[in-house]
Structure 1
Amino acid sequence: MSVDPQQLLRELFATAIDAAHPQQVLEAHLPSDRSGRVIVIGAGKAAAAMAQVVERCWQGEVSGLVVTRYGHGAPCEKIEVVEAAHPVPDAAGLAVAKRVLELVSNLTEDDRVIFLLSGGGSALLALPAEGITLADKQSINKALLKSGATIGEMNCVRKHLSAIKGGRLGKACWPATVYTYAISDVPGDLATVIASGPTVADPSTSAEALAILKRYAIEVPVSVRNWLQSPESETVKPGDPSLARSHFQLIARPQQSLEAAAVKCRQAGFSPLILGDLEGESREVAKVHAGIARQIILHGQPLAAPCVILSGGETTVTVRGNGRGGRNAEFLLSLTDSLKGLPGVYALAGDTDGIDGSEDNAGAIMTPDSYARAAALGLSASDELDNNNGYGYFEALDALIVTEPTRTNVNDFRAILILESTKNDA
C-alpha cells in the first residue's frame, strides 16, 4: 500500500477538526427567523469563530460580547470579542463575565439571546460566587487540574463556586428567549457539563462538590467551605420556571469528528475501529490502546490490518513530575513506552483546539523508530513518563504537531495506524 503514514495521520487530524468547525456546523442550527434584534453572548475556544458565523447569517440587528482564550480570537464587526486565560481564570475573564451578566439582565420576553458555547467556557467565564475571590477559584482550579479529577468532577465544583454557571446565566436572561448552541468537548456530551452549563438546569449538588474536593484532598479556604455548605450555593435545578424559555442545541460533538476521520480512513484503504470517547489516566488509556494494537498485529483481532484505531474524549494527567506536556503528549509517551518500537505502528494524539494542555503544540506523532531514536539521544521513555515530560521527549524527536489555535474544540483526537498483521496464532 502506497501511503505516507505520517501524512495520513495529519490528514485524519485535520479532518476531525474541520468536521467540528463553526463555519461547517453552526449556520444550519440558527433560528429560521433571523430578522429582528438579537443579543449574542458566548464563551469558549470556539466563541469568536461562532460569532463570525452569526454575524454573517443574521439579517436583523446584531450586538453582543463573547470571550475566548488568548490567541483564539477572530475579527468580528458587531460582536465584541474579548480574550482571557484558560485553563486557570484571570482578571480579564472575571471582568468579561460581569459584563456578560449585565448585558442580559433586565431583558423582556420580546428579546432574543444567542449563547455560543464551547469547551474552555468554564474557565473563561469566571465570576466567583459572593464571598469567594478570584484567587480562591484560581488555586482550586489549579489543584483540580493536577489531581486527576474528571472534567465532570471539575465542572461540578466550578458550578457551585460560580455566580454565572449551573443555569444561573440562563436564569439571568429570563424572560427573554435563549438559544444555546454548543460544541461539546466532554465525554457523553452532557449539556450540564459542557463549560459547566451556564444556561441549563443542573442536577448536581453542593454536597457533591464538597465530596469531590475531599476525594482529591484539595484544601479550600473557610469562606469556600462555608459557601458550599450554604443553601444559596445550589445551582438552578430541573423544573425551574426561569429556564422555561431557554433552549439548548448541540451542534458538534466528538463522535462526528471520529466518524469523519473514519470515512477518510476508508478512502485511504484502511479499516477504521472507533473506540469512542474515553476517560481515565492518559498513561493507562495508552496501555489499553497498545494492547489492542498488539492484538491486531499478532492475531488480526478485532480487525485485520491495514487499519486505524480512532478514539476521542478527555483523559486526565495526575502530575507527579516537573516536565512539560499535556494529556496527548502523556498518552503518546506512554504508548511509545508500551510498544517499544513495534514495527508497522504509527500514532498521533492531539487536542482539536490546537493546544495540548497549556503548551504551544496540539500534540505529537509516534513512529516505529521513535523509541530507538530517543534512546540514542539518551532519553528513556519510562523516565520521561515518570517526569510527565511528553513535550520534551517528542520535541527532541522533532515530532511535535503545531497547528496554532483552531477555533473549535471537540477535545482529544487519537489515531493509531497499523500497516500489517502477522496473524501468528501459535
Structure 2
Amino acid sequence: MQNGADLFDIRNQTRIKPFLVGLFEAAIRAADPDICVPPHLPAPPKGRTIVIGAGKASAKMARALEQHWEGSLSGVVVTRYGHGVPTQHIEIIEAAHPVPDQAGWLATQRIKDAVAGLSSDDLVICLISGGGSALLVDPISPLDLDGMQAINRDLLKSGASIDEMNCVRRHVSNVKGGRLAAMCFPAKVVTLAISDVPGDRLLDIASGPTVADPTSCRDALAVLDRYGISVPAKTRTMLENGESESIKPDDPRMANCQAVLIATPQMALEAAADMVRQAGIDAHILGDAIEGEASEAGCVMAGIARQVARRGQPFKPPCVLLSGGETTVTILGNGRGGRNVEFLLGLAVALDGMANVYGVAGDTDGVDGMEEIAGAYFGPDTISRAAGLGIKAIESLENNDGHSFFEALNDQIVTGPTLTNVNDYRAIFITGKHTNTPVGGDIK
C-alpha cells in the first residue's frame, strides 16, 4: 500500500481508480464466509446435524462449515445460478434471483424435507444471506409460482424499500417469517446470517425464514396498496382475513432458536476505512444503512462532497467518504442498470465535472441489478468523456441505463460472483481543495 504522500505524488499515473477499486475489494474480503463462518459454529449436538440455507453466500458458507465441522452432517442449501461451490456432504442447488423460478421451488421442497421429523436432540444450522427471499420460494395456496413471480417483479419495479418488499414476501410464503424454524421444532435452530439489509434486521435478511416476525398481514396489504401492486383476489382475501399470518415472537416453537450476525455492511466499511488510513488518508463512514432513491442519494452525496472540496466542511480534504445500505430505483426507463450505477449517475450529474472528486459504487455480491456487473467508477471527466461519445449522462439517468453508460467509458467494475453479500458499497474520494482545474489531472 502506498502512503498518502506517495499516492498524491502519482495521481497523474492513474492510481486513483485502482486505489478505489482496491477499497471495494477489501470490503468484500471482510465478509468472506471462509473468514466469518468458523468463529460462530455451535457445539455439535447429541443427535443429527442438518444444514439448510439460502442466499448468494449460502454455498460458500456451507463449504466453510463443512471444512471446520467435527462430526457428521447433511443438508441442502439454495444459491443463485453461478454461485455454487463444490461440497462433500451438503447439497448445493442453484436457482434464479431476483425473480424466483421452478428450481427455487424444488430446492425449497428439498429443504423442507430435510428438516421433517427432527427431535430435540437434533441441531439445524441455517445459513442465510442476501438473495434468499427469491431463492426460497413456496407460495401459500391459492397463490402459485406464476403469481409469486409477478409480485416479485412488481415489487422490484415499484421503488419499495427492502423492508417493505420483505414484509409482503413474509406473508405470502410457507417458509418465510419464521415458518421454516417452526418446521424444525423441536430441534435447536442456529441461524448464521450475513446481512445485506439496512439496520441488519434479521427478519429482513432473506425475509427471515427462521426469525419471528412482528409485522402483520395488514402491514403487507398496506405496502401493496401504497405502491399500487395487485395480487390475485383470493390472495388478497387471505391477507385481509389474516389467514397467512407469520410466526410471532411469543410462539413456543421459536423458544429454541437463535440467530447470529456473522458479517454486516458496517464490518465491510470498517475494512475499507482501515485501508484508507493505512494510505495516510482520512476516512469517514457516513452510514451503513442509507436508503431512498439511488439517484437522489447520489445528489445528496454530491452536495456533501462539494462542501468538503470547497469549504473543508465537515471534513478537510483529502479524505474518503464511505457509505453502505440499500437504495431503490423506481424504474421509468428501459435501460440496463442497478442501484449502484444509478447512484453514480446521480452523483455525476449533480457534480457536473467538478474537479478532485472521484468515486466507486458497487454491490458486494458482484451483481448490480439484473447483470453480473458489480458497479462502476466515476471521475471528474466522466461527463465530458461520455459527451465525447455522444452520450448524455442525464438521458442515461432518466432511462435507468447506468450499465450502458459506464460500459461505454470502460469504467464498469466486474468481480464475478463474490459468494458473499453485505449490500451496497460507496466510496467518494475528495483529493484536494476545488479549483477550476483538476488537481493531478483526470483519471482515465
Which residue is equivalent to 1:362? 374
Q: Is the 8 A contact 1:35 1:60 kept in 2?
A: no
Choose 336-345 or 144-153, whichever is displaced more: 336-345
1:335 match: 347
Deviation at 1:422, TM superposition (A): 4.3
Q: Which moved more, 1:125-134 or 1:34-43?
A: 34-43
What are the equivalent positions in structure 2 for 1:9-408 lying under 5 Å apart?
9-33=20-44, 37-276=48-287, 277-408=289-420
> Does the CA contact (< 8 Å) of 2:157 and 2:329 recur in 1?
yes
CA shift digits 1:315-366 (9 cap, x unpaired): 0000000110100010111111111111111100000000001112100000
- Is 1:36–1:60's contact at 8 Å kept on the other side of the alignment? no
8 Å CA contact retained: 1:35, 1:59: no
CA contact (8 A) 1:34 1:59 kept: no
Taking the aligned partners of 2:242 and 2:221, their CA distance within structure 1 comes to 13
Distance 2:434 2:412 in 1: 30
Which stretches of structure 1, 4 residues or more, deviate above 2 A after TM superposition? 32-37
Residue identity opposite 1:286 in structure 2: G
Confirm or deny: 8 A CA contact 2:48 2:121 kept in the other structure.
Answer: no
Give unpaired runs (5+ residues) of structure 2: 8-14, 437-444
1:290: how far off? 0.2
Which amino acid in structure 1 is aligned with residue 382 of structure 2? S
One-letter amino acid matched to 1:8: F
Aligned partners of 2:229, 2:125: CA distance in 1, in Å?
Answer: 36
Give the length in aligned residue pairs: 424
Deviations along 1:141-176, one digit per CA (max 9) or x if unpaired, are 100100000000000000000000000000000000
CA distance in 2, matches of 1:98, 1:233: 19
Contact 1:289–1:335 (8 Å) recurs in 2: yes
Amino acid across the alignment from 1:6: K
Q: Using the alignment, how far apart are the partners of 1:315 and 1:12 within structure 2?
A: 20
Deviation at residue 34 of structure 1 after TM alignment? 7.3
Work out the CA distance in 1 between the residues paired with 2:416 and 2:322: 23
Task: Give the Cα separation in 1 of the matches to 2:46 and 2:342.
Answer: 48
Distance 1:214 1:37 in 2: 45
Measured in 2, the distance between the counterparts of 1:322 and 1:174 equals: 46
Query: Displacement, 1:62?
Result: 1.3
Q: Equivalents in 1 of 2:181, 2:119: separation in Å?
A: 13
SS in 2 for 1:41: strand
Question: How big is each residue's C-alpha offset from its partner over 1:340-397, in whole Å with a ceiling of 9 and x where there is no partner?
Answer: 1111111000000000011121000001111100011111111111100101110110
Q: Give the partner amino acid of 1:295.
A: Q
- Normalising by structure 2, report the TM-score: 0.94
1:353 is matched by which residue type in structure 2?
D
- Normalization by structure 1: what TM-score? 0.98
CA contact (8 A) 1:41 1:100 kept: yes
